[in-house]
Amino acid sequence: MSMVPLTKRGADKLRSELTRLKNEDRPRVIQAISEARAHGDLKENAEYHAAREEQGFIEGRIKEIEGKLGNAQIIDVTEVNGNGKVIFGATVDLLDLDTEDEVTYQIVGEDEADIKSGLISVSSPVARALIGKEEGDVAVVQAPGGAREYEISEVRYI
């Protein structure tokens, strides 16, 4: 599997979820299975089956996170010198030239993307159009509704 870019914040978030899953959720569901077993017949024990199903989800998520972290190339954008260019992890202020709306995006890994929080995936059309550009440049984004033009107002590495 190839290396996947991940911001330091995104990696920290995954690590904290992994810790919670291993130290809180896993022991809790093991206890729930143990208690459900004590109730007797497992064939008709809904509590037991629900706890086993939850255990499967928890173990699957643990493996997924461990795999992502194992294949991650963790990038701390505050320590990277982008020379004013838009790079992975950069926070970019944009001016939509059609609507005059201002938006701010940070370019992050696919698993971190959350458009409502202003976090866009490095593989998104907007990010692909921005990468390598500098302040003052105009990026043309091929969106489903047609081409959109954004002027880069500011590039920050925070």
- pLDDT, tens digit (0-9, with 9 covering 90-100), for 70-105: 999 999 888 887 888 999 999 999 999 989 999 999
- Cα distance between residue 5 and residue 126, in whole Å: 17
Query: Pick the residue with more confidence: 108 or 79?
Result: 108
Domains of the chain: 4-75 (1.10.287.180), 77-156 (3.10.50.30)
Angle between helices 46-70 and 8-20 (to 10 degrees): 150
Which whole-number Å values give the CA distances from 137 to 67, 103, 127, 129, 146, in the listed order? Answer: 37, 15, 14, 11, 20
Average pLDDT on 100-111 reads 92
Backbone φ and ψ of 77, nearest 5°: -65, -20
Average pLDDT on 15-26 reads 96
Query: Pick the residue with more confidence: 44 or 112?
Result: 112
Express as a percent the part of the chain with pLDDT over 70: 99
pLDDT digits 0-9 by tens, 29-63: 999 999 888 887 777 788 889 999 999 999 999 99
- Cα distance between residue 24 and residue 32, in whole Å: 12
Cβ partners under 8 Å of residue 74, min gap 6:
6, 7, 8, 11
The model's pTM is 0.79
| Residue 43: per-residue pLDDT | 75
| Residue 38: per-residue pLDDT | 85
Confidence at 121, pLDDT banded by 50, 70, 90: very high
Average pLDDT on 147-156 reads 92
- Please answer whether residues 121 and 108 qualify as being in contact, where contact means their C-beta atoms are separated by less than 8 angstroms: yes
Q: Would you tell me how many other CB atoms lie within 10 Å of the CB of residue 152?
A: 20
| Residue 1: per-residue pLDDT | 54
Q: What torsion, rounded to 10 degrees, do the Cα atoms 131, 122, 75, 104 define?
A: 70
